[in-house]
């Protein structure tokens, strides 16, 4: 589920062999009619709304493998394939001009996106680092990007389950959240 401005974007359905997942959206208030965004015979998932809520990144396997696409939101509009060779877990840079995703060969990829008419055009696709040591999840991105778009929060699986409890963490975080 993705919240942005006054919209909620979500996927519904199952990968159970009979039905597949699709992406829908609706407003929080006023006209709350549910609208399909990507509801095809392919499996669509991982919706990621851009910071300005004008674009939606998502995954579709319409080509036979998971690929990252972006399109105008709420649409209609042309959608553009962003990944090359497969991808999962799109996450927008806070600037809205870059998209991160995991390639199917285990690399974190960054792609610049520029508005060209009514579509986003990808360029400067580059591998940042290997995601092999970190948690993999096909249905949700198990990572996030820092506010300055320079660091990633990744989950590293452990053979021994552990739990860390941090007390008074907000006291340490609040000063870092304040903008200059």
Q: Provide the residue range defining the domain that includes 76.
A: 2-177
β-strand pairing of 67-72 with 22-27 = unpaired
Q: What band does 125 get if pLDDT is binned at 50, 70 and 90?
A: very high
pLDDT tens readout for residues 77-109: 788 999 999 999 999 999 899 999 999 999 999
pTM of the full predicted structure? 0.80
The count of other CB atoms within 10 Å of the CB of residue 54 is 16
128's CB contacts (< 8 A; 6+ apart) are 100, 107, 108, 109, 110
Q: Indicate which CATH number applies to the domain containing 46.
A: 2.130.10.120
**What end-to-end distance do the CA atoms of the chain give, in Å?**
31
How far apart (Å, rounded) are the C-alpha atoms in residues 155 and 9?
Answer: 24
**Residue 111 near residue 92 (C-beta atoms within 8 A):** no
Residue 129, phi then psi, degrees to nearest 5: -170, 165
Per the structure, the count of domains in the chain is 1
Nearest Cα neighbor of 56 from 74, 31, 41 is 74
pLDDT tens readout for residues 17-46: 656 788 888 888 888 888 888 888 888 889
The tokens for 90 are: 């799109």
146's CB contacts (< 8 A; 6+ apart) are 152, 153
pLDDT (average), residues 112-117? 87
pLDDT (average), residues 150-155? 86
């Amino acid at each position: 589920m993705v919240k942005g401005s006054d919209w909620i974007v979500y996927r519904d359905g199952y990968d159970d062999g009979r039905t597949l997942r699709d992406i829908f959206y609706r407003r929080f208030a006023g006209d709350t009619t549910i609208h399909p965004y990507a509801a095809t015979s392919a499996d669509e998932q991982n919706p990621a709304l851009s910071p300005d809520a004008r674009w939606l990144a998502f995954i579709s396997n319409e080509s036979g493998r998971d690929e990252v696409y972006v399109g105008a939101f709420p649409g209609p509009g042309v959608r553009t394939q962003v990944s090359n060779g497969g991808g999962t877990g799109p996450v927008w840079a806070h600037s809205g001009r870059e998209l991160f995703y995991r390639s199917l060969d285990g690399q974190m990829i960054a792609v610049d996106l520029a508005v060209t008419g009514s579509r986003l055009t990808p360029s400067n696709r580059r591998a940042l680092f290997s995601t092999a040591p970190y948690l993999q999840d096909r249905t949700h991105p198990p990572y996030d990007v820092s506010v300055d778009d320079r660091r990633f929060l990744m989950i590293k699986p452990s053979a021994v389950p552990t739990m860390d409890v941090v007390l008074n963490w907000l006291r340490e975080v609040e000063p870092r959240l304040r903008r200059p």
